[in-house]
Structure 1
Amino acid sequence: MGRKPATGKVNRMDNPHNRLIIVSNRLPYRIEPDEREGFAFTRTVGGLVAGLEPLHAQPGNVWLGWADEPAGLDEAGRARFERALAERSCAPVRLDERDAELYYEGFSNSALWPLFHGFPQHTRFDEEAWEAYVRVNERFRDAVLALARPGDTIWVHDYHLMLLPSLLREALPDASIGFFLHIPFPDYETFRMLPWRRELMRGVLGADLVGFHAYDYVRHFLSSCRRIVGVENESGTLFADGRLAQVDAFPLGIDYVRYRDAARLPAVRRLVAELGEEKGHEGCKLMLSVERLDYSKGIPERLLAFDAFLDRFPEWRGRVVLVLVTVPSRENVASYAALKKQVDELVGLINGKHSTMDWTPVDYYYRSLPFERLVSLYAASDVMLVTPLRDGMNLVCKEYLACHDGGGGALVLSEMAGASYELHEALCVNPFDQEGVVDAMRRALEMPEAEQRRRNAPMQERLARYTSEKWAREFLDAAADVKRRQAGLSAHLLGPTSAGRLLEAFRGARRRALLLDYDGTLMPFSDDPARVAPDARLRALLQQLGAAARTDVAVVSGRDRATLESWLGDLPVDLVAEHGIWFRGRDERTWVLEEPLSDDWKDAVRPVVADFVDRTPGSMLEEKDFSLVWHYRMCSQELAERRVIEIKNALGDGLADRGIALMDGNKVVEVKPRGVDKGHAAHRWFRDPAYGFVLAAGDDRTDEDVFEAAPESAWTVKIGDGPTRARYALKNTGEMRALLEQLAVACAEEDAEGGDGASPGAGRRDVLRAPATVMPRTRALARA
């Protein structure tokens, strides 16, 4: 699931011609009252702001987020406030007070935050809060649309705005839209608890690129894509509503140099020395814990582990101090107030139990700390405890390592933090295993400095290399690469000019091959697949083309061999049945099995598919020699979408072991042998150097294998819209038939002239004087 390398990429951060609109819940400034001006701006700290600051600073780029106008401003003050925001390249989104409360505290932080962190007991599902969440996301959409220009990249951040990508996609179908989730994405069984799970999945899938901090979150998201909205993926690439999108992991880094250099400042060094004096005993070691007050951070569990550590290893009493820094958070929420009370009581309990006249085991701070003070704590600490119960990334551990650049210091890190995937040299612990945490505390305190340096060095090297700025750069480069891949899958409509070139190439080739799908290409679809027999006009067309001296025609279909033989077996065409399993040459009367295959698996799979037929009115089961097909063209759309997800879930996990695979077609799900497809079958013609002209045409996912396998010189044509690997597209079967009629006319003229068409220019004038019944249809094609 690694990222595909971008080809010929332009560094998005160095390109002034492409503007970036950053969209997050809040602007990167804290806006506070000021007696003189009426307001004051303070740049907020944190990984997101640090990572995006170089981008935000570039001319033209804009940061859009929720901002409340300071109270008490007169008209002149409001005008100054607007100018101050514009000078800082910020665009405010203003929210109704009630909507803001329901959207932020009600849905974002009472439903999504606890559920995504694995705390369903703290989750509250409220319809009114959901409706406010929808309205606020729509308000953000309107604000973005007021700013957006063609060519802009829009980067949406975090769980507050999960509906926004699809809202923007509806209004700006060609825009470059990225989405990044900065918290964990839960497993399917947890996520499915959310009543609005489908809406959120569809919302995020409006983005071209969806980013997470860790591959586990990617895996969980892709599982929900399949099981909730029926969207499959291949190595993180998926097609949502006919549009290619990519899902990948981009672990957020820090501004490593800033923390490393700050730890070396004289003022910070003085603070470090002062902290050493405050320890109370010579040789007393410092353990540090810095967390925002939240139940996901495991602060009570950390305190209980420290209490158990002092009980189990009494020799450390008086020799270690735990500095506990807890940053206030959501103080008006009852569950957070209860958590604060619990932490206060535990600190009091531990200090009351273990303190001596000259030593207090827990030094407790309930406040935010200035940057220099925080860095000094990092630099002075012998051990860093980062043991959240669940965390999307956690940058504190990275900041600690940067402040110890080239030196010692022991990191105890939770396996449940996203950072653990990068920092595996740390002492990694299960935060729910108290004995394991206690033992890690002991190991960290007793670890020789040489081992500390040995563990830290590779982590520090990685962090210095993969900074927050590189994180942003890689995400935007990947987003640009997705747009290039989308462009590569967007076929040009085959209009008169390109149709003329095709006909010229056809006439100039000594030998030609036409590989044609059947359903949706030569004949339109029908609710009843059995009622799509070729009409007389199509049979006459295939007869004329197949009988031409220099032209070979092959119908490459998913149909069973008996049907193809009854419909087309008397015509001079090659036949490929069941997506490449069976082949019958034009001059032969027997079918050849392309590879030795078994149908033993059918007995296990057939009852499952039959059960879905029974439960889905309008669907049907078709059984071929080596495949089973579930057709749902006549089902209601809503029921069909749900059943497709269910049948994939019912069959998906156990198929690989049997050597079979699920394949999506046009209103069908087919179970067939793995590794057998139309592309493999088409190699019979593609690898034959005698063919100077090859045309391959098809309409659905099964034909993409042919387009992918085709040589660059081949003319590949997709029938219908949507992304494709084909070079060209036609709108419907009528246009495809019109194109084949032109080729048939060329064949008839060659036969009448008795020539071999060896000259590439032969018949060039005839491109413009094809019969009137043919050319009007071709002119109706949109221009390439």
Structure 2
Amino acid sequence: MSKTIIVSNRLPIKIIEEGDGYALQPSEGGLATGLASIHAQGENTWIGWPGVAVDDQAQRSHFTSLLKERRLVPLFLSEEEIKGFYEGFSNEVLWPIFHYLPSYANYDLANWETYVRVNEKFRDLIIEHATPDDTIWVHDYQLLLLPGLLRDALPDASIGFFQHIPFPSQELFRLIPWRKELLQGMLGADLLGFHTFDDVCHFVSSATRLTPTNNNSNRLEVDGRTVFAEPFPMGIDAKRFAELSAEEAVQNRIAELRATFAEQKIILTIDRLDYSKGILQRLEAFELFLQENPAFHKQVTLYMVVVPSRDTVPQYRELKDQIDRLVGHINAQYGVYDWYPVAYFYHGYPVEEISALYNVADVCLVTPMRDGMNLVSKEYIASRNDNSGVLILSEMAGAAKELLDALVVNPNDIHDIRSALLQALNMPMAEMNRRMKSMRTIVFKFNVQHWANLFMNRLQEIKNVQSTTKARLVGASIEEHIITSYRNASSRLLLLDYDGTLVGFQDDIDKASPDEELYQLLDMLEADVHNHLVIISGRKHSTLEKWFCGKAYSLVAEHGVWTKEPGMEWRLKSGLSNTWKEEVGALMESYADRTPGAFVEEKSFSLAWHYRKVQRDLGPLLAHELIDSLRDYSAAYGLQLLDGDKVVEIRSAEVNKGRATLDILHENRYDFILSIGDDRTDEDTFQALPPDAYTIKVGTEVSTARFYLKKQQDVRVLLGKLARVSGAPGAL
């Protein structure tokens, strides 16, 4: 029976030292809560580090047995591995780069090697427990290499990956010396999940710029596989926080806090000690608020909880010192004998205490400089059962894309935060209730169980799509079927596109001329008296004439404007006009003038704007802008727009490869038809052919063609096998 294997850096239960021995303690993190429902199903398993270095083999065996009962599989790491993998590469390279603080990054080769080694240890442990039908869900930045390592070991596995922190722009990501290896690791997954659409865009940009990966929106073509990158905003267990608020112990603590801070408004902030959280800027904004609003002195308290984290690391220790000094300064400057403006607590709290704080806080101030999602904001909302309270939220947090009724601020702008504090503290109750009610609807609907189920369901959908796609790939069985049909046919039509099908693309379009191998292959196919070979291309007829002069096969140029049969002159399709070309050509030339690398190609009854040499993302951007500009001309002159492979073409609407194909079919009858092409213009050919024709798209499965080939070189291999069937001497 198939199962899901969850893989994360940490298990949902950690081993802690207790006296002379160890004990098991549940984790309180959002990931542990979020995946609990998935882990509870069937025989699902969770693999991860148990939170402490256990060197004694007997103790390792003991803990493995204990955890096995809970379907948890520990991966034990040495102190050296923890230092290099987690504290080193994960938190000294990936964390600062992904949070847009490259000056904090430490590119240590030894740490990178340890990161690779630990990811390989995870792979080896997973392989021990995985079966071919299992689904593997990998989590977060500590395991970026793991999907690729698993793909190499388990080619047909169903692999998902979720990134719980932001993904940076490619300009920052490319700073990492091992950027390609990290991307190749991530691209081993079938589905890549991120908190926001911005993160998806950043990842796709990095993948397409730094690796030989093609993309169509959020679909990435990787070694013949389609990888999907999509946003899945993570939620919380909203029901749990709502119920906690009503518990007696929490209610008692709420009463104590309200008695302590009687007659005061509470502004709550809760953060782990980290330079990405914007704690210093928040304190500066609060100081500015106190300076400009003396009426609020003794009326408001900033209740600040900072959870200790890595305070032995120099940057974190320095941050802690800066926070201490700034809190001391504010309290000394504005405090009086019976009131301190900042109540500062540097330690962690149990969830019951946090729940009480959420309930007494009139304002929750969440202003990270960069955050994947930020669940504190959602926990605060879920706790406000009476629909009171105001959330001030950084626009740099993923949650800001969902919680639109929060007061959204720029965390770098202390004046913006100051203004939001003033607005929140003066907000009318009716507006407060309206905003909170709206946000609670979102938080309760898109809860953590919804997030987990949505991801897993989408992964299953993608595997089903891939399974269907794989069935359409021209593999051994389909190839044999094509060859058998070819062998048994007495009248055959071979319709072959040129660029991207018979030859690869060149930056200089004039350099994509036929090579001797291609000439030999085409001559072999045409030599078979049962074959009618047609090259059907968007190329100029003068170019095809130069390349194939004297050859015994039919030529169709400029998508059907010109046709030529062996031994005859070129024939021009009647009734065409090009009076529009001067006006449209001027517009296209203006786009070429502002786009380095682009140029306009003039054909008899069409114009093509090529951008294969243009910077990767700039070309498609300006191509879409050009298409929008050409739409009016298209309607006015009865023209057709084509968005091809690195080319925008406009031509007479009466002409396309499909109509040229219908003319060929009208003149002859065939009992075997093979059509191969690689771009949108070939879709017209595929659609014009009868359903039993063998239509093949090159490079992508997204097509009306019945089948597809992964790359252009595969076309020659297939045609060579057909030539061999024809009995041509020396066939490939």
Same fold (TM over 0.5): yes
Give the secondary structure class of the aligned counterpart of 1:389. Answer: coil
Q: Structure 1 CA distance, aligned partners of 2:692 and 2:661?
A: 11
Map of 2:10 onto structure 1: 26
Q: Structure 2 CA distance, aligned partners of 1:717 and 1:185?
A: 40
Deviation, structure 1 residue 383: 0.7
Q: 1:657 aligns with which of 608, 617, 625?
A: 625
Give the secondary structure class of the aligned counterpart of 1:297. Answer: coil
Map of 2:706 onto structure 1: 727
Q: 1:470 aligns with which of 426, 450, 459?
A: 450
Q: How does 1:394-543 map to 2 (within 5 A)?
A: 394-490=374-470, 491-493=473-475, 494-495=477-478, 498-499=481-482, 502=485, 515-518=495-498, 529-531=513-515, 532-533=518-519, 535-541=522-528
Superposed CA offset, 1:288-325 (max 9, x none): 10111101101111111111111111111111111111
Q: Structure 2 CA distance, aligned partners of 1:340 and 1:705?
A: 62
Q: 2:247 aligns with which of 260, 265, 275?
A: 265
Q: Structure 1 CA distance, aligned partners of 2:109 and 2:651?
A: 47
Map of 1:43 onto structure 2: 26
Deviation, structure 1 residue 232: 3.5
Q: Do residues 122 (structure 1) and 104 (structure 2) align?
A: yes
Map of 2:634 onto structure 1: none
Q: Structure 2 CA distance, aligned partners of 1:416 and 1:523?
A: 47
Deviation, structure 1 residue 244: 0.7
Superposition TM-score, scaled by structure 1 size: 0.78
1:294 and 1:704, CA in 2 relative to 1: closer, same or farther beyond 3 A?
farther
AA matched with 1:52:
L
Q: 1:329 aligns with which of 289, 309, 314?
A: 309
Superposed CA offset, 1:508-549 (max 9, x none): xxx9975333478678999972334365433334x6444xxx
Q: Structure 1 CA distance, aligned partners of 2:589 and 2:202?
A: 30
Deviation, structure 1 residue 345: 1.4
Q: Structure 2 CA distance, aligned partners of 1:697 and 1:432?
A: 58
Map of 2:636 onto structure 1: none
1:538 and 1:64, CA in 2 relative to 1: closer, same or farther beyond 3 A?
same
1:524 and 1:409, CA in 2 relative to 1: closer, same or farther beyond 3 A?
closer
Superposed CA offset, 1:729-765 (max 9, x none): 68653643665898xxxxxxxxxxxxxxxxxxxxxxx
Name stretches of at least 5 consecutive residues in structure 1 with no aligned partner.
Answer: 1-16, 547-552, 612-620, 632-643, 665-669, 743-770
Q: 1:590 aligns with which of 543, 567, 571?
A: 571
CA contact under 8 A between 1:243 and 1:722: conserved in structure 2?
no
Q: Structure 1 CA distance, aligned partners of 2:254 and 2:572?
A: 83
Q: Structure 1 CA distance, aligned partners of 2:523 and 2:375?
A: 70
CA contact under 8 A between 2:678 and 2:699: conserved in structure 1?
no
Name stretches of at least 5 consecutive residues in structure 2 with no aligned partner.
Answer: 628-640
Deviation, structure 1 residue 393: 0.6
CA contact under 8 A between 2:661 and 2:688: conserved in structure 1?
no
Q: Do residues 239 (structure 1) and 221 (structure 2) align?
A: yes
Q: Structure 2 CA distance, aligned partners of 1:181 and 1:18?
A: 25
Superposed CA offset, 1:238-277 (max 9, x none): 2122211111111000111111111122221121111100
Give the secondary structure class of the aligned counterpart of 1:23. Answer: strand
AA matched with 2:624:
A
Q: Structure 1 CA distance, aligned partners of 2:156 and 2:238?
A: 36
Give the secondary structure class of the aligned counterpart of 1:112. Answer: helix
Q: Structure 2 CA distance, aligned partners of 1:735 and 1:389?
A: 55
Deviates more, 1:163-172 or 1:366-375: 163-172
Give the secondary structure class of the aligned counterpart of 1:419. Answer: helix
Q: 2:91 aligns with which of 83, 96, 109?
A: 109
Map of 1:561 onto structure 2: 541
The structure, 1 or 2, with the larger RCO (C-alpha pairs under 8 Å, 6+ apart) is: 1
AA matched with 1:28:
P
1:317 and 1:706, CA in 2 relative to 1: closer, same or farther beyond 3 A?
same
Q: How does 1:127-206 map to 2 (within 5 A)?
A: 127-206=109-188
1:609 and 1:31, CA in 2 relative to 1: closer, same or farther beyond 3 A?
same
Map of 2:194 onto structure 1: 212
Map of 1:229 onto structure 2: 211
1:358 and 1:372, CA in 2 relative to 1: closer, same or farther beyond 3 A?
same
Give the secondary structure class of the aligned counterpart of 1:648. Answer: coil
Q: Structure 2 CA distance, aligned partners of 1:342 and 1:383?
A: 24
1:716 and 1:69, CA in 2 relative to 1: closer, same or farther beyond 3 A?
same
CA contact under 8 A between 2:3 and 2:43: conserved in structure 1?
yes
Map of 1:713 onto structure 2: 691
Q: 2:369 aligns with which of 372, 375, 389?
A: 389
Deviates more, 1:315-324 or 1:698-707: 698-707
Superposed CA offset, 1:594-653 (max 9, x none): 996655546975998879xxxxxxxxx99774458799xxxxxxxxxxxx8x74256444
Map of 2:322 onto structure 1: 342
